[in-house]
Amino acid sequence: MDAARYAKIRDLFLAAEELPVESQRDFVASHSNGDQELIVEVLSLLAEHNAEFAKIEGDTAAPVVAPMSPAKLVETIQGTAAAERQSPHEGDTTHRGDSSGQTQPSAERKAGGGSAAITKHGAHRTHASPRVKQTESPKHASNSNAIWANRTRANRRRNSGWLWLAALLPTAMIGLWTYREVESMIQRSIRTELNGVINSVALRVDWFLGEKATLVQSWSREPTLRAAIVELNAIAETNPPIEELRKAVQIDRIHQQLQQISGVEDVKFVVWNDSYRTLASWSDDGADIGKPVHPSGAANLARVMSGATVIFGPERLKADIDGFVPETEKPVMAVIVPIQDDDGRIIASLLVRGLGLFEEFNMIFLEVIDSSQVDSYAINRDGTMLSESGHAVSNSTRGKLEIEPDQIAANLRVADPGFELTEHNRNSIQRQFRPVTVAVAGAVGLRPQVRTETYANYSGESVVGAWRWLDKWDMGVIVEQNADRAFAPVRVVRFSFLLLGSLLSLTAFLAATKIARSSTAEHAAHHPLSRYDIQEELGSGGMGMVFKAYHRQLGRDAALKVLRGDRHSQEDRLRFDREARLAASLSNPHSVQIHDYGRSDEGEAYCVMQFLRGLTLQEVVARSGHQAIGRMLSVMRQVCDALAEAHSLNLLHRDIKPQNIMLSLDPSVGDWAVVFDYGLAKPLEPDANVYQTSETIWAGTPMYMAPERFRQPGVMDPRSDIYSVGCVAYYLLSGRPPFIESDPESLFALILSEHPIGIAIHRGEEVPAEITELISKCMSKQPGDRFATIGEVCQDIDRLRVKYPWSVDEARVWWGHHGGE
């Protein structure tokens, strides 16, 4: 069962359980859209109700007249903010509304707030975790968002509709047409240019390598040189001692002949026989003579012995053969050709290098970069850059690559870092674990292409490019151009029309704002939430709608929760009051903080809470899988700290789960966890001053609920929260909930009778016994087998944290890798 299915079942269940028993079946059938499985599942849950507990805890109260809806409240708040900004006592115009009626933060606040630190999805769940998805029953359907949007649009149309139609519509149409035409022309121009450059590069590389291969082939047929190699091979076939082979005069004759033919004094060569053993080389001591070729070179020699000519490299030589020491750290290129005897039979392979092949090869790409203002380079099948890209050298010099400039050629893996590399994050990428770029994948996959859709290159920069694969030489060539430079003309056109549209929009908006202020300022000036700027809706839960608000006097963000317009019964209002009071009674820094609470003049309840930034534990696991043991202990210790205070006040949370725990990075302590959503919290003992809601079924998320919560939903026991703590710890270590099943009955059966799969199976590695014992004790089926108090859990975690630490630096590294938007 997925989250949407579960929410649908629970929504319909909660709606039906408020009705008389004789009406429930017809209600469920009429709101299930013919889904027979849904009807069966909901009716089976209704049949398992514990009516006795429902009577004990109280009946629902009678409904009262609906107060003002959240949409109307927000409109009033918006008007209040506008009235205060119009007041002669406040000349500040920092916070301005846009054309949709929402207010925007000032530039100064944007600079200080840093939206990159906020994960919007996490914020959605911070104060409005929707335990009920209000989509099935008309009785519970919320249209607050639609009312808010419709009223805002209607108000703007009444006050400034003619301004928008007369000024913005023609400009938008002309601007869009012009922009599309310019963009299309620029793309065609880029495609033509890239196609010409890549074809030119491919032809030049092919011609250069072909010329060098033909040249060395002609040398191999020179009679004196060939005779020396044939004689040396004949000597080797007699299996003489290695020292005798090293002193063979034919080796000097080969060297001298190559020097004479090539005109290069420092020419280097190697001769192998058909058994891939070295017969001769340019080295003075001949230490490699008689040794077999390294396995990595066997494939090339096999091709040569079959009659092909092979271009070796560019490659950085390694001391991989006994006695061989590379004379240079720079990349080298060589030509390997077959040697035939007098009968035309291939008996040996000849490698020739030291002719400056790499320098000439590399110059082809550098000249393209200088003449065409593009990045150009060659790659092999592994995605390694073979040439020395001038663009890569420049990035390395400026600290945008994790590799030194002289180490780029035949070394840099052309992988997509996943973000743009800078001097500060260049060492955070491990290229061997990153996928190759789009261009490399296309070239190696033999898919020649010119791509004008942007993609990330090896530095994380947005580029367009083209590529070809030269199958004859087993290498690819790539040209790329910076996307910003390529599409600069498009940006100029877009900016011009956006600027014109913005000026027209501002004119229309100021006119509309002036009209709106004159009609709402007097009423809005005294609203209790007038000091808040409403910025955006964060989400809607079972009880209320949550908005992101900005306190203009204190200069801080807050989460404003307003009772939903369709939840207007006396019980709903008292339930909303209870959540605010219970959460406000907590002062632990790991529990969400309540800043303000009250009602508007129209009777609408609201609650102002701490605005949490970061990721929920569910998002943490979704981004990086199972977590380190030390991190789990650190996070759960903070969660236990919050629950310890709640339990000391005789308050149970009852809905501890990964989605209700927010994690952020604190510069001084590392991971910082905050427990939120006390909407299901409940006192251990009845309190006459706190409204006690009726409890006819279980409340919470099933896969993290203790077994006794299913048997007796009304029984309050702190050890139920301890069970949920164990489930969350299991989830962090394994990356999966302890129990997952497709239907509620099967899930309940697993929780009541089965043990979860071992954590080690999910992780693929052993987990220390003391860690599994901690979690198993928390998740014991019988409350008596668990820790007696949350304090005991804290003590056990503190003991284990000494052996499994989680440092601030480790937290910073994780957030650097996974904490982005």
Query: Could you read off the pLDDT of 632-651 as tens digits, one per residue?
Result: 999 999 999 999 998 888 88
Residue bearing the bigger pLDDT, 58 or 572: 572
pLDDT at 484 over 70: yes
149: pLDDT strictly greater than 70: no
Residue range(s) in the chain whose domain bears CATH number 1.10.510.10: 615-818
| pLDDT for the residue 802 | 94
Residue 579 burial by CB count (10 A; 0-12/13-18/19+): exposed, middle or buried?
A: buried
Interacting residues of 349 by C-beta distance below 8 A, sequence separation 6+: 271, 272, 301, 304, 305, 336, 337, 338, 339
pLDDT of residue 418: 85
Pick the CATH number of 221-355 from 3.30.450.20, 3.40.449.10, 3.90.25.10, 3.40.50.1580: 3.30.450.20
% of residues, the chain, pLDDT over 90: 39
- Per-residue pLDDT at 168: 63
Supply the pLDDT for residue 159: 47
Rounded to the nearest 5°, which phi and psi values hold at 465? -165, 180
CB contact burial 680-706 (16+ within 10 A = b; e otherwise): bbbbeeeeeebbbbbbbbbbbbbbbbb
- The most confident of 14-28, 370-384, 627-641, by mean pLDDT: 627-641
For the ranges 168-177, 292-301, 427-436, the lowest mean pLDDT is seen at 168-177
The per-residue pLDDT for range 495-534, each reduced to its tens digit, is 776 776 677 667 766 765 665 555 444 444 456 677 788 8
Q: Do residues 616 and 592 lie in contact, with contact meaning Cβ atoms separated by under 8 Å?
A: no
**More confident of the two residues 294 and 267:** 267
The pLDDT, as a whole number, for residue 670 is 94
628 class by beta-carbon count within 10 Å (0-12 exposed, 13-18 middle, 19+ buried): middle
603 confidence band (pLDDT: 50, 70, 90) = low
- The confidence band for 56, taking pLDDT boundaries of 50, 70 and 90, is very low
Find out whether 232 and 248 touch, Cβ atoms under 8 Å. yes
In the numeric block, the tokens 């019980």 are attached to 571
> What is the pLDDT at residue 134?
37
Domain 373-486, CATH class in plain words = alpha beta
The model's confidence at residue 45, banded by pLDDT at 50, 70 and 90, is: confident
Nearest 5 degrees, angle CA 803-CA 805-CA 809?
A: 155
330 is in an annotated binding site: no
Identify the residue with better confidence: 15 or 311.
Answer: 311
- Nearest one of 10, 70, 80, 78 to 46, comparing CA atoms: 10
Range scoring the smallest mean pLDDT among 89-98, 184-193, 326-335, 660-669: 89-98
Q: Are 721 and 790 in contact (CB under 8 A)?
A: yes
Average pLDDT, the chain: 78
Residue 706 — very low, low, confident or very high, per pLDDT cuts 50/70/90? Answer: confident
Residue 53: its pLDDT value, please?
44
Q: Which residue has the higher pLDDT, 693 or 737?
A: 737
Can the peptide bond before residue 683 be classed as cis, meaning omega within 30 degrees of 0? no
| 748 confidence band (pLDDT: 50, 70, 90) | confident
Reported pTM = 0.44
Q: Tell me: domain 615-818, CATH 1.10.510.10, correct?
A: yes
Query: 50-59, 218-227, 426-435: which has the highest mean pLDDT?
Result: 218-227
Using the predicted structure, report yes or no on whether residue 310 has a pLDDT greater than 90.
Answer: yes
54 has a pLDDT exceeding 70: no
Where do the CATH 3.30.450.20 domains begin and end in the chain?
Answer: 221-355
Per-residue pLDDT, 183: 77
pLDDT at 250 over 50: yes
Our measurement of the distance from residue 218's CA atom to the centroid of its chain's CA atoms, rounded to an integer in Å, reads: 56
pLDDT at 797: 95
Q: Where are the alpha helices (DSSP H) in 221-262?
A: 223-236, 242-246, 249-262
pLDDT tens for each residue of 345-380: 999 999 999 999 999 999 999 998 888 789 999 999
What pLDDT is recorded for position 604?
A: 73
pLDDT at 365: 93
More confident residue, 456 or 320: 456
In the structure, what pLDDT confidence band is assigned to residue 128 with cuts at 50, 70 and 90?
Answer: very low
Residue 772 vs residues 597, 766, 775: alpha-carbon distances, Å:
43, 10, 5
Greater model confidence, 733 or 492: 733
Quick one: angle between helices 3-16 and 21-30, nearest 10?
140
Give the rounded percent of residues in the chain with a pLDDT score beyond 70.
Answer: 74
713 or 362, which is more confident: 362
